[in-house]
Chains A and B, each alone.
Chain A
Amino acid sequence: MKRFIGFVKKEFYHIFRDRRSLFILFGMPIAQILLFGFAITNEINNVDIAVLDHSKDATTKEIIYKISASKYFSIKQMITHEADIASVFEKGQVKAVLNFENDFSKNLINDHKATIQIVTDATDPNTANTISNYVNAILQQYQLELNKGTTTPYQIVSQTRMVYNPELKSVYMFVPGVMTIILMLVSAMMTSISITKEKELGTMEILLVSPINPFQVIIGKVVPYIFLSVINAIVIVLLSIFIFHMPVQGSLFLLGLESVLFIVSALALGILISTISKTQQTAMMISLMGLMLPVILLSGFIFPISSMPVPLQIISNIIPAKWFIIIIKGIMLKGVGIQYIWKETLILLGMTVFFIALSVKKYKIRLE
């Protein structure tokens, strides 16, 4: 134990005496939150939506047909009660619900005005915005056709309503993504670099010649990063709460546990990377190309998974970050408990165990 403390202490000296790692540790989270806080517009494609049709008349049928005929949407579900709206969102089955008022056709004919409500899932404000823009475009188109040759124009009014996050601050949706990136960066990249550094400098050899167990060496190297990752996660959550006034809906305890699970999976990946790279440069490149890029591009952080080409959607499943983002979005923004995210948690747990097993095996081989 005393040996171990010495080890951890030494690791902290390395970290605090290196400007680069200090920057990654403390500059990055803030820089990223600010950077990604700006909205980024996305394309959408084949987004699953639900329809709540109170009228079920010719006009609503035609509008529904037009919407489902567009390549942007696919109607996944017809629901019948207002109350179902919340539940389809909670289950994450659809990204939006179209809600037609009662007597839609009648209102349109009598009053020349009918109303449709576009309810979007505000946990993903960019997608939500894009969805309502696209629906509106389709409605406009329909309205134009309807008004051909008429003197008093018919008007279809759409109202957009966001659920979960009525205020719509886009930074909310980036917080889970930024947190994922930072944890990945600190846990996987920094550990792989710091282990490879010892290999490169030859100090790893000295450690292996000492009576200290090789696994202790690795644990001693990763513990500081677990610690720092947790601190980072806390800083990010605090920043979001106090600077962006993000409401964290769910249990902080669950959030903490899930974060530790993700951190451990990332550490295992970091160890894995260190077993296959000889130099810090290589470790960094592999971490960036093999971990950071997929996290940024394929995890659903920036580009909605539903609008990716199918092969990429399939690939996105093997990225731990995707599951972690689903989990923490659920906890932070929707306030769901474990009963809604146990599947994702189990997948993440399975991946973590797999990565640990693989890195232990690889590490053993490396010791020949």
Chain B
Amino acid sequence: MDNDKVIQVEGLTKMFGDFTAVDAITFDVKKGEIFGFLGANGAGKTTAMKMLIGISIPTAGTANVAGFDVFKQAEDIKKNIGYMSQKFALYDDLTVKENITFFGGIYGLSRNVIKEKSDVLITELGLQKVANQLVASLPLGWKQKLSFSVALIHDPKIVFLDEPTGGVDPITRRQFWEMIYKAANEGTTVFVTTHYMDEAEYCDRVSIMVNGKIEALDTPKKLKKQFNAATMNDVFLKLARG
């Protein structure tokens, strides 16, 4: 295995009955990279991601994540990754601190480490005033940032973000991307899906998925050149129109 590649996928396929949601996709992700996983609604992004994080068994193909096989070593994969789902999924009826403590706990962090991380995290996110408030009372943008930090609490090698900025205002989106950059700079590989084409520009490399297949994969710069387009949005439109 190439040590530089933390995700290696070949011919990965998922079928729901007769319907092929993910159709033989093949790609690699390098260590420390921000990999944008683009596609329209229903393209199969979430389905593909679920196979990579070990909660959905592929119909065919192979995939290796953080050095482990998705078929045989899903449990090892789970220890090495963080995941932020498309749906906001912290506990609304727990406070900010309680959420951090709980998720730190299930990743097996010790009480001291949790306490330390929790303080740092709350300060970084500027949540000191609301640390003991129920998460339900926070605005969506704050929730998303908190959710991201929680996904990183155990210092995973790879973090999977499924539309982390969906429905969030542009300013918060910017801040969110700053957090992503920071994580990547610290060596975490970021695998992120998004609908926003401007965000695609921030990625090191992007793949574009159409109807379950990866139709294009390269750096944003090269893709724009390849499709003779000014922005990633144009690239996307050209691909989508066929």
Given A13-B94, A203-B90, A209 and B56 touching (CB < 8 A)? no
Q: Quick check: which of A1-9, A58-66, A126-134, A243-251 contacts chain B, the rest being far away? A: A1-9
Are B89 and A211 within 8 A (Cβ)?
A: no
Q: A18 contacts which chain B residues (CB < 8 A)?
A: 93
- Contacts A6-B105, A209-B81; A202 near B98 (Cβ below 8 A): no
Chain A CB within 8 A of B120 CB: no
CB-defined contacts of A209 to chain B, threshold 8 Å: 53-55, 78, 81, 83
Q: Does B149 contact A (CB under 8 A)?
A: no
Residues on B with beta carbons closer than 8 Å to the beta carbon of A7: 102, 105-106
- Measured between alpha carbons, how far is A18 from B91 in the docked complex, in Å? 13
With A2-B105, A3-B105, A10-B98 as contacts: A211 and B79 at CB distance below 8 Å: yes
Tell me which residues across on chain B come within 8 A of A201, comparing CB atoms: 87, 89, 91-92
Q: A71 on the interface (CB 8 Å rule)?
A: no
Q: List chain A residues, Cβ under 8 A from B134.
A: 17
For the complex, give the distance between the alpha carbons of A315 and B211 in Å.
50
User: A83 in the interface, Cβ–Cβ < 8 Å?
Assistant: no
Task: Report how many residues on chain A are interfacial, defined by Cβ distance under 8 Å.
Answer: 23
Among A6, A207, A212, max chain B CB count under 10 A is at: A6
- Count chain B CB atoms within 10 A of each CB in A206, A207, A208, A211 and give the residue with the most: A206
- Cβ-based interface call for B27 (8 A): no
A6, B90: Cα distance in complex, Å? 15
B111 to chain A, nearest CB (A): 8
B93 adjacent to A202 (CB under 8 Å): no
Bound-state CA distance A161–B27 (Å) is: 85
Out of A6, A14, A17, A368, name the residue touching B56 (CB < 8 Å).
A368
Instruction: Write out the residue numbers on chain A whose beta carbons fall within 8 Å of the beta carbon of B91.
Output: 10, 13-14, 201, 203
Q: Is the CB of B85 within 8 A of A206?
A: yes
With a cutoff of 8 Å between Cβ atoms, the chain B residues found around residue A9 in the complex are 102
Is there contact, CB below 8 Å, between B55 and A205?
yes
Which bucket holds chain B's interface residue count? 20 to 34
Residues on A with beta carbons closer than 8 Å to the beta carbon of B111: 2
Query: Does B88 count as interface, using CB distance less than 8 angstroms?
Result: yes
- Check B93 against A17 for contact (C-beta < 8 Å): yes
* B85 & A211 in contact (Cβ 8 Å cutoff): no
B196 at the interface (CB under 8 A from A): no
What is the chain A residue whose CB lies nearest that of B91? A203
B158-188: CB near A (< 8 Å → 1, else 0) gives 0000000000000000000000000000000
Main secondary structure of the interface of B (DSSP, over half): loop
Would you list which residues of chain B between 28 and 86 have a CB under 8 Å from chain A?
Answer: 53-57, 75, 78-79, 81, 83, 85-86
B126 contacts partner chain A, Cβ-Cβ < 8 Å: no
Taken residue by residue from 201 to 222, chain A's Cβ proximity to chain B (1 for < 8 Å, 0 otherwise) reads as 1110111111110000000000
| A residues less than 8 Å from B56 (CB atoms) | 368
Query: Bound state CA distance, A201 and B98, in angstroms?
Result: 17
Q: What chain A residues lie within 8 Å of B106 (beta carbons)?
A: 3, 6-7, 207, 210-212
Task: Give the complex CA separation of A7 and B57 in angstroms.
Answer: 27
Do B75 and A208 touch across chains, with their CB atoms under 8 A apart?
Answer: no
Closest to A220 in B: B106
Q: How far is the CB of A24 from chain B (nearest CB, A)?
A: 16
Q: Which residues of B contact A10 (CB under 8 A)?
A: 91, 94, 98, 102
A13, closest chain B residue (CB):
B94
Q: Which residues of A contact B53 (CB under 8 A)?
A: 209
Of B75, B88, B94, B98, the contact of A211 (CB 8 Å cutoff) = B75
- For residue A332, give the distance in angstroms from its CB to the closest CB of chain B: 37
B108 an interface residue at 8 Å Cβ cutoff? yes
Taking CB atoms, residues of chain A closer than 8 Å to B81 are 209
- Pick the contact of B78: A17, A203, A210 (CB < 8 A): A210
Write the A111-150 contact mask toward B (1 if CB under 8 angstroms, else 0). 0000000000000000000000000000000000000000
Q: Complex: how many Å from CA A209 to CA B88? A: 15
In-complex Cβ contact of B83 among A17, A206, A212 (8 A): A206
Across the interface, do A203 and B89 meet the contact criterion of CB distance under 8 Å?
A: yes
B194 within 8 A of A: no
Residue among A14, A18, A203 with most chain B CB within 10 A:
A203
CB distance from A280 to the nearest CB of B (A): 14
* Nearest CB of chain B from residue A361's CB, rounded to whole Å: 17
Interface string of B95-137 (1 = CB under 8 A from A): 0001001110111100100000000000000000000001000
CB distance from B86 to the nearest CB of A (A): 8
Closest 7 A/B residue pairs (Cβ):
A6-B105, A202-B87, A202-B89, A209-B83, A211-B78, A17-B93, A211-B79
Query: What are 28 contact pairs spanning A and B, CB under 8 A?
Result: A6-B106, A7-B106, A10-B91, A10-B94, A10-B98, A13-B98, A14-B93, A14-B94, A17-B134, A201-B87, A201-B89, A202-B89, A203-B89, A203-B90, A205-B85, A206-B89, A206-B103, A208-B55, A209-B55, A209-B78, A209-B83, A210-B106, A210-B107, A211-B75, A211-B78, A211-B108, A212-B106, A368-B57
Question: Other CB < 8 Å A-B pairs besides A10-B98, A17-B93, A206-B103, 6 of them?
Answer: A2-B105, A201-B92, A202-B86, A202-B87, A211-B108, A368-B56
